[in-house]
Structure 1
Amino acid sequence: MFADLLIILACSLLVIALFRRLRLPPVLGYLCVGLLVGPAALDWIGSARDLPRLAELGVVFLLFSLGLEFSLPRMLALRRTVFGLGSLQVALCGSVLGVLLYLGGVAPTSAAVLGLGLALSSTAIVGKELVSLGEVFSGHGQNAMGVLLFQDLVAVLLLTLVPAIAGHGGEPWYLAIPLTLGKTVLLFLGLLLASRWLLPKLFHEVAQAHSAELFVMLALVIVLLTAWLTHMLGLSMALGAFLAGMLLGESHYRHQVEADIRPFRDILLGLFFVCVGMLIDLKLFAEQGWAILGATLLLLALKGGLVAVLVKVRGESGETAWRSGLALAQAGEFFFALVALMRQQQMLEAPLAGLLLAAAFCSMALTPLLLRAAPQLAARLRRTPGRESHLEEIASHSAELQGHAVICGYGRVGQSIGRFLQREGQVFVALDDDPVRVEEASAGESNVHYGDSRRRDLLEAVGISRARLLVVAVDKTDVALAIVEQVRLHCADLPILVRTRDDSRLAELQAAGASEVVPEVLESSLMLASHALVMLGIPQQRVQQHLDEVRGNRYRLLHGFYHGAQANLVDAQGQPRVLLHAVNLPQNAHACGRCPTDMQLEALGLEVQAVRRDGVDLPMEQRPQLREGDTVLLSGPLQAIEAGEARLLGGD
């Protein structure tokens, strides 16, 4: 047992480090470790009986963490997606996949359970990729997160009901399932009473002791105790852990408990996936490679296509439909737990289990690559000749504009410039080639359009010939240079302000026709230097003269610096980004009829930037009452925005 754990942990250390370099999910790394050290490959792990039992605790801790993250207000805010699209997706995909398995010779009960298991997607992979790609608030991102939330509930139910469905207790399944559900309700009520009366006092006493050791110990005892109680009742240990986490998720100690549990969860869950990887026979890829490939492609195409059809039927755009299907097309980590449990209950034969696990593994391995390629594919589709109607729509929006400003690049800098222009009542039109950013901004602003700012027809559509100013705020200097050159061919007198990161290509931009070039790093250095001089007692007038002189000399004083060992000296890793998010209030939203200041959004770390009604900003000092169709612009960290949206839509 000790030697097996040492081998697994050492191999996991190397493989997970490699996967992080490749930006691949750790789940796939643990599965690969299981494949390599298992009996089908290197055969470094013996037949340790206690290893699967220890690995099962990984699922228990996973479900406990899932319960901590479970948010009833968030579920209510996304209720149409969670219960509408989520239930339809699970029912439709589960039914189709179950029928296919039944036609393939699987027993009806096992086929139904496996079909529902394959209908579930990977919360770990999809959630991580959507966050890293900045697509959480996009249309397909919201669809994926809402459906995954419903799938998590189904996963807990499946893991709980499999022993009852197997019928090893002597009762028929139609009696065992109601009995199991009844026990679950009693367990929930008991844990609810404990979470209301006992746990707060325990956590309060431990918190008063200021002992991290006691806090971790209490959290571990709660997880293991609830898992043991459910096991004694004949239920899944994972169910008790999920219910305990869900009830603790509403307490003030949620984040501390989650932080304390995470190391144990990650290691034990990794051990579980290693054990699952050992179940996959590596020889299958050589002997049944085409069958695994066919099953993988069938799973991805079937689930992705069905999800896309469901989203399209709901009235959403084609791009949102196919990207939602792409995000939910793979199998999930719960399927591995389900197959392992079904093997224990003798509901599934080893050859079929190996084939399904191999196909599920391949679908999960392909998902990060597909999700990362989706933005480029969407951008190409947007540039196809068939999108002329999009160009005409932009031209119609800008037809009556005269003397406006055009902002190319609506990232952090472009948005900052736009806010100052709005404050002064200056009209502007913004272009950006990030479809997710444009979709997010368009929810609250009608003057932000998608497109490549280097295109002449797009610049003409936004009325560049009638504009009074062009601001180039794109992040890439090559793109900025191309924009300036394109504009100067047709608008010789138009003032052009260009933002760059540094002064490396300042001369090229000026030669191309830029009126003013502002190097971002140098300007921030200049402002810091001016503050330092003022704090040292230098008169403000003299400091301003220095600033004017440096800017007049094109930052020559600041050119060049000593390069250190770090490649990026202005990296702000670890600091949460402040995002801007528009919340559109539907009918029966919790915030309707209330004033934004009464929603206590500031307590969540949010700031209400504006409230728009029919495209017009409402004066906040008059305490406007929110209505259906209003747009509330929130700014703050990602987690705070999620909580704020849940409060606006579903209440506390």
Structure 2
Amino acid sequence: MTETLSQSTMLSDALVILGAAGIVIPVFHRFRITPVIGFIMIGLLVGPFGLGRLVPQAPWLYHVTITEPEALEPFAEFGIVLLLFTIGLELSFNRLWAMRRLVFGLGALELLIIGALLALVLSMTGLETTPAFALGFALALSSTAIVLPISGTSSPVGRAALSMLLFEDIAIVPIIFVLGALAPYAQSEGWEGLVGTLWQGLLVVVALLVVGRMLLPRLFAQAARTKSPELFLAASLLVVMGASLATAATGLSPIVGALIAGLLIAETEYHGEVEGIIEPFKGLALGIFLITVGMSIDLAKVWAQAGSIALAVLGVLVLKAIVTSVLLRLMGARRSTAAETGVLMASPSETTLIVLSAATAALLIDRDTAQFWQIVTALGLTVTPLLARLGRTVARRVEPVPEIDEGSGTAPRVIVIGIGRVGRLVADMLEVHGKPYIAIDSDADMIERARRKGYQATFGDAGRGNALDRLGINTAPAVILTMDEPVLAQRLTSKLRKEHPDLPIIVRARDLAHATRLYRAGASHAVPETLESSLQLSEAVLVDLGVAMGPVIASIHEKRDEFRALLQSEAALDHRPKLRTGAQDLG
């Protein structure tokens, strides 16, 4: 009977977790928010300090809450192992070498200075030196899982964030190594046990590096020859678990082995396949870990310590933002880039929770202190998307964007709205044929890059104020909308057509349906990307088949005109007055 009840509890908890994943991941993906925040909030909701409190009063809540949080701990630890494994997969020697100045200069300074300052502040509050340093470096880490999807890796902010996050990912190795070495001997056996663990651990690490370099390429080559995803997955998990058990056997943390396994596989040609096949398992297992983090947050304690928690969160955010911004300025970054990156990187990381767990296991930090800083970290993670918006606002304040070029006194020129990939190509063609133009974009970094490459570009929001009036829209021969934002393009087209009835408006469209809506909004020409790619494919095929270029180009133009006429007629039909029905008249 007890066994049946236990199985029922496990199935109920599994259903809650899978249901949470099924809801959190698509909903947060829809709003371009990392699921990390969602999983923490789900854990808070369904855990023993959330709805779990109400189960005695409302037994039906048993089916939508986690009833045995302890049973999730092995899965949570597996999620941590897979997270560190995938971090190892992302690190390759070539990538590190290309960014060595930023990674080992900016990244190292950022982590060391922030970690040391936080440790100093924590020691002033009464914490002993060693726990203060463990906690300080844990809080100095920033979230790779949240920051990079927000910043990307191509903008100045994204490159700066990537360099610091890469060094932090590398620094996890020695941090976890030292904490793992301290764990068994923190109270009793002292330096003798520590030294023994270190030399045994180093021996295992060296053995893993040597054996891994010899065996892993052969193992994955054999798995690849079978063309069996199941075998590839099994080989990946075998390597991860084998390396984790090897380091755990010496007294080190198993995630040290997971990191080493990832680094070894990153040097093989199969790392992309391994990363792709592990990703779903890592996401779900990491989600379980984050749910357990949310379940550990006692809202009653948060309320009771609201002032201390708010002060701790604010203190960590402000200190990290200021130090990161100052370091970036000293490294030559623009004020806007330094400010935005500093604010974005201010929150702690999901790996902060891992380091906290390792420090607690090492008996360096007591559980009450760890829980307090877990709450601080969880709240910091939750507000990261808000920090990203705040960072952009601060960047605009500390470094005003370039003034918009006045249109007075200049010859009529085409206005290109958006200076991304498509906008630059349009500008190139206008330049080739001697047609003057001016491009406008609301992304200051995009404007800066375009100007460095010689494009006539200026900052401004075409949808607001009199930005286009200053550029001389009243005398412009045409306006070209190149942005990949369908709703904004449609809204701006409608506004331009109302204000300038005779102005040629050429708009980039996603597809035929979007082109129809743009014609309805008043576009002179809407160019669907899907149609143009189809026509170019047809042209290439026909030429390769031996058809003369002249007839091919003529037929392509004919087909384009045919589609354009069809779209315009559909848009016109949509504008016909609707006949009122009897039911409408009665209504």
Paired residue for 1:88, among 73, 89, 109?
109
State the match for 1:77 in structure 2: 98
| Structure 1 residue 160, shift from structure 2 partner | 1.8
Change (3 A) 1:449 1:188: farther
After TM superposition, the structure 1 = structure 2 runs for residues 55-454 of structure 1, keeping only pairs within 5 Å, are 55-130=76-151, 135-166=152-183, 167-168=185-186, 171-173=189-191, 182-183=199-200, 185-372=202-389, 374-375=391-392, 378=395, 381=397, 387=400, 390-391=402-403, 405-424=414-433, 428-453=437-462
- Separation in 2 of the partners of 1:149 and 1:507? 48
- Separation in 1 of the partners of 2:409 and 2:190? 73
Which amino acid in structure 1 is aligned with residue 506 of structure 2? V
State the match for 1:567 in structure 2: none
SS at match of 1:391: coil
| Structure 1 residue 98, shift from structure 2 partner | 1.0
Change (3 A) 1:70 1:183: farther
Change (3 A) 1:509 1:190: same
| Structure 1 residue 48, shift from structure 2 partner | 6.6
SS at match of 2:403: helix
Which has a greater percent of helix?
2
Change (3 A) 1:469 1:272: closer
Indicate whether 1:11 and 2:16 are aligned.
yes
Change (3 A) 1:284 1:499: same
- Separation in 2 of the partners of 1:253 and 1:526? 32
| Structure 1 residue 324, shift from structure 2 partner | 0.6
| Structure 1 residue 45, shift from structure 2 partner | 4.7
Change (3 A) 1:284 1:232: same
Change (3 A) 1:193 1:164: closer
- Separation in 1 of the partners of 2:573 and 2:275? 44
**RMSD between aligned residues:** 3.9
Change (3 A) 1:213 1:455: closer
Which amino acid in structure 2 is aligned with residue 559 of structure 1? A
SS at match of 1:415: helix
Which amino acid in structure 2 is aligned with residue 366 of structure 1? V
Kept in 1, the 8 Å contact 2:186–2:363? The answer is no
- Separation in 1 of the partners of 2:520 and 2:35? 46
Q: What is the identity percentage for the equivalent residue pairs of Structure 1 and Structure 2?
A: 28
SS at match of 1:430: strand
| Structure 1 residue 205, shift from structure 2 partner | 2.2
State the match for 2:40 in structure 1: 31
- Separation in 1 of the partners of 2:508 and 2:104? 47
- Separation in 1 of the partners of 2:97 and 2:530? 46
Which amino acid in structure 2 is aligned with residue 520 of structure 1? V
Change (3 A) 1:93 1:548: closer
Change (3 A) 1:56 1:4: farther
More off after superposition, 74-83 vs 341-350: 341-350
Q: How far does the alpha carbon of each residue in 1:417-463 deviate from its partner, in whole angstroms, 9 at most, with x for none?
A: 12323455655432111234334434534433322346898668767
| Count of residue pairs brought into register by the alignment | 535
- Separation in 2 of the partners of 1:545 and 1:92? 62
Change (3 A) 1:473 1:201: closer
| Structure 1 residue 349, shift from structure 2 partner | 2.2
- Separation in 2 of the partners of 1:525 and 1:321? 40
Kept in 2, the 8 Å contact 1:330–1:360? The answer is yes
Which amino acid in structure 1 is aligned with residue 571 of structure 2? H
- Separation in 2 of the partners of 1:30 and 1:104? 32
- Separation in 2 of the partners of 1:293 and 1:525? 54
Q: How far does the alpha carbon of each residue in 1:16-40 deviate from its partner, in whole angstroms, 9 at most, with x for none?
A: 4443424332222332333334333
Q: How far does the alpha carbon of each residue in 1:386-416 deviate from its partner, in whole angstroms, 9 at most, with x for none?
A: 948x328x57xx9998676442322454233
- Separation in 2 of the partners of 1:222 and 1:333? 24
Kept in 1, the 8 Å contact 2:69–2:292? The answer is no
Change (3 A) 1:423 1:246: farther
Change (3 A) 1:557 1:77: same
SS at match of 2:383: helix
Kept in 2, the 8 Å contact 1:296–1:362? The answer is yes
State the match for 2:571 in structure 1: 559
Kept in 2, the 8 Å contact 1:522–1:558? The answer is no
Change (3 A) 1:422 1:286: same
Change (3 A) 1:401 1:56: same
| Structure 1 residue 117, shift from structure 2 partner | 0.4
Q: How far does the alpha carbon of each residue in 1:612-636 deviate from its partner, in whole angstroms, 9 at most, with x for none?
A: xxxxxxxxxxxxxxxxxxxxxxxxx
Q: How far does the alpha carbon of each residue in 1:589-648 deviate from its partner, in whole angstroms, 9 at most, with x for none?
A: xxxxxxxxxxxxxxxxxxxxxxxxxxxxxxxxxxxxxxxxxxxxxxxxxxxxxxxxxxxx
Change (3 A) 1:424 1:364: same
SS at match of 2:252: coil
- Separation in 1 of the partners of 2:481 and 2:221? 55
Which amino acid in structure 1 is aligned with residue 123 of structure 2? Y
SS at match of 2:16: helix
- Separation in 2 of the partners of 1:487 and 1:29? 46
Unaligned runs of 5+ in 1: 511-516, 563-652
- Separation in 1 of the partners of 2:175 and 2:188? 20
Q: How far does the alpha carbon of each residue in 1:499-534 deviate from its partner, in whole angstroms, 9 at most, with x for none?
A: 264355658758xxxxxx1123499389869969x9
- Separation in 2 of the partners of 1:282 and 1:289? 10
- Separation in 2 of the partners of 1:481 and 1:126? 36
- Separation in 2 of the partners of 1:59 and 1:485? 56
TM-score (norm 2): 0.79
- Separation in 1 of the partners of 2:69 and 2:553? 78
Unaligned runs of 5+ in 2: 1-5, 54-64, 510-514, 575-587
| Structure 1 residue 214, shift from structure 2 partner | 2.0
SS at match of 1:293: helix
- Separation in 1 of the partners of 2:553 and 2:99? 55
Kept in 1, the 8 Å contact 2:87–2:259? The answer is yes
Kept in 2, the 8 Å contact 1:16–1:29? The answer is no
Indicate whether 1:479 and 2:492 are aligned.
yes
Change (3 A) 1:524 1:259: closer
SS at match of 2:278: helix
TM-score (norm 1): 0.71
State the match for 2:507 in structure 1: 499
State the match for 1:524 in structure 2: 531
- Separation in 2 of the partners of 1:482 and 1:255? 46
